[in-house]
Each structure stands twice: as structure tokens, then as C-alpha cells.
Amino acid sequence: MGKKILLVDDDTDMLDIYKPVLEKAGYNVKVAYSGTEGLQVFQEFGPDAVFVDLSMEHFDSGFVLCHKIKQLPAGADIPVIIMTAAGHETGIRFSTQTSEEKNWIKADDYLEKPIAVHDLVQYLDDKIFRDK
């Protein structure tokens, strides 16, 4: 199989939709349903990219998981992307446009949910793995 993707979200319906489509596009996909499980799967699976929901078992679980992944030697250079609807729900917008913002949220990018599955595949193909 192709590049390894880890999806971490407590929304099982979302994972049930994204996983098979990403697999059909040639990606090897693992899922986790909490920040705690996400860290364990990250360490066992060694993904090439990680998508993390912001609010899972706690409102900031995604930030905490991103921080933990980026502290690991294996996670320092792995693209970690937050996918969340929190911006729509709270009006607070997050950004990864500057190095300060990336350092604060410990993620390489931020995507607003909902994101169409074909857009996610294109994002991976064009932005994450284009030159790899």
C-alpha cells in the first residue's frame, strides 16, 4: 500500500466515510477515536501524515495530541493537520500561516470541517505528498 495516514476523531461516522475513500485512493489508513488512542496508534503505525480533530474527550484534545506527536523524534517532521468544525461553532479561527501560529497550535495546517472526501484526497495528493 501507499503512504500511511492516521485519522484521529471521536466522530465514528466521519471516520467510516473517510477511511474507505482514502484507501481506494491508495493510502494505508488507520483510525483512532481519542487523543490517547491516537498517540498509541501513531507510535505503533508510524504514519506519513496525521489528521486530528480538535475536540474529542476534552475540548483541546487535538492540540494536546499535536503537541505530544511533535515532541516525539518520529513526529517532528510528520505533517499533522487539525480538522475541526470549532471555527464554525465558536467563531474563533485558527491559522498556521506563520511560524508563531504553527508553534502555538503544534500543527502544520488547519482545515475547516466539513471537508469533502475528494477534497481531502486532493489535499493529500497536492499539498502533503506532491513532491514525495
Q: Rounded to two decimals, what is the model's pTM?
A: 0.86
Q: What angle do CA 87, 122, 8 make, to 5 degrees?
A: 50
- Given this model, what pLDDT does residue 9 score? 94
The closest alpha carbon to 121, from 39, 7, 34, 11, belongs to 7
- Given this model, what pLDDT does residue 59 score? 66
Question: How many structural domains does the chain have?
Answer: 1
CATH code of residue 104: 3.40.50.2300
The parent domain of residue 79 ranges over: 4-128
- Given this model, what pLDDT does residue 114 score? 85
Low-confidence ranges of the chain (pLDDT < 70): 1, 58-59, 86-105, 131-132
- Given this model, what pLDDT does residue 90 score? 44
- Given this model, what pLDDT does residue 100 score? 60
